[in-house]
Structure 1
Amino acid sequence: MGHGGNVIAELMADHREVEEYFARLQALPAGDKRRRDVLDDVTIELVRHSVAEEMYLYPAVREHVPGGGPLADKEIQEHAEVEQVLKDLESVDVDDAQFDILVQKLVTDVTEHLREEEQLLFPSLAQACSPERLMELGDQVRRAKKVAPTRPHPSAPDTPPGNKLLAPGTGLVDRARDLITGRGRS
């Protein structure tokens, strides 16, 4: 969850973690009940990561990167689409054919999103921000991930100030539900 370093190092480490979850998920045979546990783990990571980016990374992109507004809007829209797929997956059993279709969509969409961030957004931000600002953003992202929700909430606000106000409370409720159900302990 928290890896250390500037915002780019922090988020790149998250990206590698998500890719590892995807590899584990895809290595399990269709219908295997363990796929739900791995999906829960990747969902927790993706939601926390997305919320933190929406709270701090994308506002910084808007502020510092020339033409950053449309770029941030595009990334937020992609997050919304992924969050809807995660929400749809919550109600599909692992032995339903729809599960595999949705998982493949999730993997494809997220992989493309990560590639775009790493090849376009991160270099642009690194060029536009001082090393001190990048470290500050890394600290903000790490703090945000600690209190962020762990379940998809597609109708929740995805830009400040709404997300900064609501995410910690929603995150508290999600973590309480996870504790009670044992979700995310695989």
Structure 2
Amino acid sequence: MSSPYILVLYYSRHGATAEMARHIARGIEQAGFEARLRTVPAVSTECEAVAPEIPAEGALYATLDDLKHCAGLVLGSPTRYGNMAAAMKYFLDGTNSLWLTGALVGKPAAVFTSTASLHGGQESTLLSMMLPLLHHGMLICGLPYSEAALIETRGGGTPYGASHHAGADGKRPLDEHEIALCRALGLRLAQTAGQLGERRG
């Protein structure tokens, strides 16, 4: 049997969400879990995958098995009009076999996002990503205000999950508070997965 892992599943267009995923992975690893980074292919306006079977660079594409066997999930997407990107929604819409079998019930999950503008729908995007996870019976982990960076941030960061203000060109680097909150989210999710795993064991 393989060791337990946390799935960090994201879609990134310009790299900001991917960078957040890497910081979240460091928090997960701090808790002693493997962080398995996976992405999803872009989709066309007809909602069909329009990418090669294997990405040219970065994380591999996620499979339903990656999702089925994870000990926890961190889901990330850039904001699209206050909602998750179509590519992530398309992938989640194809998880009905996992829903039918209850494969994700009781597993912890968290969410993260990146926006072009500071008030560009970060919180509504995070909430939109929570909805399918709740339908799967997952347990949502947010960021508590005991995280000092949540009070001090001048960029991204919400109690609903980690966020980042990437700027209009998507090139603004994560600041120290955004990085701290990404890592804190990964650590908290992994610690929760560990506690839940001990109770099941």
TM-score (norm 1): 0.36
Give the structure with the larger strand fraction: 2
The higher relative CO (CA closer than 8 Å, separation ≥ 6) is in: 1
TM-score (norm 2): 0.34
Give the structure with the larger helix fraction: 1
